[in-house]
Structure formats: C-alpha cells, structure tokens
C-alpha cells in the first residue's frame, strides 16, 4: 500500500497483529530463561518460601539488575512467580513442579530436554547476560547502533522493518494524542518517519522535523517525499545526544527510542529535552512501558531482544514517571496505545 494522507485517514484493521509484534524479536526465547534459571541458579529451590523484592533477587542470585527487570515479568506472566507489594514469591504451580522436594518434580525434564542442546548458543547467551549484563552481539559484530551507522544495508532493512510495525502503532497512537495547540515537533530517532506522517495528517498545522543518524536520513527523505509529506516534514541529520534544538520545538517526540539506552542515557536525553523545550512545551514518549504484573506476552518477547542486543530494555511505567519528575516535568500522564505500548507526556 502506498501511504498517502488519504489512506492514512481511511486505514482500518480487521485483525489484531499483536502476535506478530512479538515474533519479529524473540517469541520462543522466553522459555529459555526458565531453563537457565533452573540449571545455572537453582532458582526455585533457593527461592522456596521467601518473598523477595527485585533488589533482593538480584542480590541473592547474583544476577544483574537489567536482566532481572526483563525476566521477572516473564516469570509472572507465565505463572511461575507472583508479585504483590513489589515482593515476588513462588506460585502453587512452581511449588508443585519446580521444587526438588516435590514428588511431582518436573525440572530435570525441562533442563535436559533436547531444546537445550539444539539451542545451546541461545542458552549460553542468556546465561552470559544474566551474569555480565553485556549485550551479546556487541563484541562480535558491533552493537546494533554501530551496525546502523556503518552498514547502510542493515540501516535500510531495519528501518523498513520498523516502518511496518509503525504503520499499526502509529494508526493507534495518533487517535490518543492531541497536538492541536502546538506549532513545531521534533521526532527524535524518527526512522522512516511513519509516526510523523500520521501525526502530520491528523495535525496539519504542526511543522515536523525528523532527527536521525546520517545512514538513515536518505531513506527517510525518500519515503517522506514518496508519501507526499515534503512540505510539512523535514529530515535532519544529527546526534540526539548533542543536537542543539535551540528551543525551537514545543514538542519533543520519542517513539521506541528510550528503550535502546541504559537508564543513565535515558535521563540524559530527557534532561536535554527539558532544557531545550520552551515553557509549556511537552515531551511525548511512545514506548513499551511495563506494568509490574500485567504485560502482554508480545511486549515481554520484544524486551528480550532489547536485553540481548542493546544496553536498554522496556522500562516500567513508574521508572519513566520518576525520571520525568526528577528532571522537573509537570502534568505527567500516561495513555495506553496498544499491546503494552503507551504514551507518556510531561510538560515543562
């Protein structure tokens, strides 16, 4: 489908592609965490009847904080752990099947079944991340961002992939946002520009600049032109960590960008936005924002990819709220978009 203003306005979905959102990333990796936890950490036997916070789990099992933030929601989702008042505990299911003291113990089957042998490399990658927190691919091929900068083919394929996902999410997001009273938006790490195209269609008074790295810019420019948005959307090459926004934008939009970075860098980016927004300007963050307990599987599957190949992860909603508050943003609020993705707003 050629994306035009007209068919953006008429776009309708008959089916829900949620299961495809996870699949692009790591659909079947979720079970491998269980195997690693049982085999490498004797996780359930050592957990037994305790009630532990995430910090307590990190300390007790000597697992790094970032992987813990990724696998705990998976274990809760799969019914191996439950959580109340931020304390995790074994479910009846785990007590029945995953404690070696139980007559119905099942864990030898889990860890010695063939998938462990077939997927040996995956097993070892997960094991290494739990203990070291180093993204797996960083040493061999360069991390994905180095790859994006150095390899034009990779940058193109990746941007195309995000464009397909973006069509669905942008279509949902644009109906949850009101930018009527704003003048100029910067779409930071805007990739193919798909979100900007939707936002421009619904808010034609807004002028938009997309800020991207130089290897992505030619493709973004081409798509913006083909899609008929050149008069409203401009594409700039620059680095979001040191770009001078000059207080020119009253909306800073980050879609699926913060999850690529560690918490220190997330704070740096948001602080930079705060300092560069005019009074009453807003930051709009579209991303996967996890809940402590209820998350769609497709989001948790994506989270594994982030853990494996970036220094980031999906942050919990409360973590982003805390960072925004700490920086000085006001009127912080969240709106659900789809499949665990949501919009978080903050005003200067």
Ligand X SMILES: C[S@@+](CC[C@H](N)C(=O)[O-])C[C@H]1O[C@@H](n2cnc3c(N)ncnc32)[C@H](O)[C@@H]1O
Q: Which residues contact ligand X by CB under 6 A?
A: 145, 148, 162, 166, 189-191, 195, 211-213, 216, 239-241, 255-257, 260
Helix (H) or strand (E) holding 277: none
CB of 18 to ligand X, least distance (A): 17
Alpha-carbon distance of 299 to 295, in angstroms, equals 7
CB of 295 to ligand X, least distance (A): 19
CB of 270 to ligand X, least distance (A): 14
Length of the chain: 348
Kindly tell me which of 255 and 276 has the beta carbon lying closer to ligand X. Answer: 255
Are 227 and 8 within 8 A, CB to CB? Answer: no
CB of 155 to ligand X, least distance (A): 7
Kindly tell me which of 255 and 295 has the beta carbon lying closer to ligand X. Answer: 255
Are 301 and 25 within 8 A, CB to CB? Answer: yes
Alpha-carbon distance of 280 to 296, in angstroms, equals 34
Extract the runs of DSSP E, i.e. beta strands, from the chain.
Answer: 81-84, 87-90, 184-188, 207-212, 233-237, 251-255, 282-290, 315-316, 330-338, 341-347
Kindly tell me which of 130 and 186 has the beta carbon lying closer to ligand X. Answer: 186
Backbone angles phi, psi at 166, to 5 degrees: -60, -35
CB of 108 to ligand X, least distance (A): 40
Kindly tell me which of 130 and 337 has the beta carbon lying closer to ligand X. Answer: 337
Kindly tell me which of 190 and 311 has the beta carbon lying closer to ligand X. Answer: 190
CB of 189 to ligand X, least distance (A): 3
CB of 104 to ligand X, least distance (A): 43
Kindly tell me which of 189 and 346 has the beta carbon lying closer to ligand X. Answer: 189
Antiparallel, parallel or unpaired: β 341-347 and 330-338 = antiparallel
Residues 6+ apart with CB under 8 A from 191: 159, 162, 163, 166, 212, 216, 220
Kindly tell me which of 107 and 343 has the beta carbon lying closer to ligand X. Answer: 343
Residue 6's Cβ-count burial label (10 Å; 0-12, 13-18, 19+) is exposed
CB of 257 to ligand X, least distance (A): 5
Extract the runs of DSSP E, i.e. beta strands, from 111-237.
Answer: 184-188, 207-212, 233-237
Kindly tell me which of 66 and 286 has the beta carbon lying closer to ligand X. Answer: 286
- Listed residue (63, 42, 60, 43) closest to 52, CA to CA: 60
Which residue has its beta carbon closest to ligand X? 189
């Amino acid at each position: 489908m050629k994306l035009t203003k007209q068919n953006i306005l008429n776009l309708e979905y008959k089916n829900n592609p949620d299961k495809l959102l996870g699949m692009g990333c790591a659909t079947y990796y979720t079970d491998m965490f269980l195997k690693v936890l049982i085999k490498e950490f004797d996780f359930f036997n050592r957990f037994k009847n305790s009630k532990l916070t995430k910090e307590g789990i990190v300390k007790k099992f000597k697992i790094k904080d970032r992987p813990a933030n990724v696998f705990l929601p998976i274990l809760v989702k799969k019914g191996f752990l439950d959580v109340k008042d931020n304390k995790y505990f074994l479910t009846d299911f785990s007590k029945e099947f995953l404690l070696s003291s139980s007559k119905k113990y099942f864990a030898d089957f889990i860890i010695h079944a063939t998938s462990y042998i077939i997927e040996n490399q995956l097993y070892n990658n997960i094991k290494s991340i739990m203990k070291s927190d180093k993204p797996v691919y960083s040493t061999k091929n360069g991390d994905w961002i180095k790859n994006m900068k150095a390899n034009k083919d990779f940058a193109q394929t990746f941007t195309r992939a995000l464009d397909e996902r973006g069509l669905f999410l942008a279509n949902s997001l644009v109906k949850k946002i009101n930018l009527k009273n704003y003048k100029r938006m910067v779409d930071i790490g805007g990739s193919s520009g798909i979100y900007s195209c939707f936002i421009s269609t619904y808010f034609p008074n807004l002028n938009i600049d997309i800020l991207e790295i130089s290897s992505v810019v030619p493709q973004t420019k081409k798509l913006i032109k083909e899609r008929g948005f050149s008069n409203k959307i401009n594409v700039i090459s620059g680095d979001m960590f040191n770009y001078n926004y000059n207080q020119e934008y009253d909306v800073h939009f980050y879609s699926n960008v913060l999850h690529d970075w560690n918490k220190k860098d997330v704070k740096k980016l948001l602080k930079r936005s705060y300092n560069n927004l005019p009074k009453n300007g807003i930051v709009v963050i579209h991303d996967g924002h996890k809940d402590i307990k209820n998350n769609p599987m497709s989001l948790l599957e994506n989270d594994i990819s982030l853990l494996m190949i970036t220094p980031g992860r999906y942050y919990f909603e409360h973590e982003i709220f805390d960072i925004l508050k700490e920086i000085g943003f006001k009127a912080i609020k969240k709106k659900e978009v789809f499949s665990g993705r949501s919009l978080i707003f903050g005003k200067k």
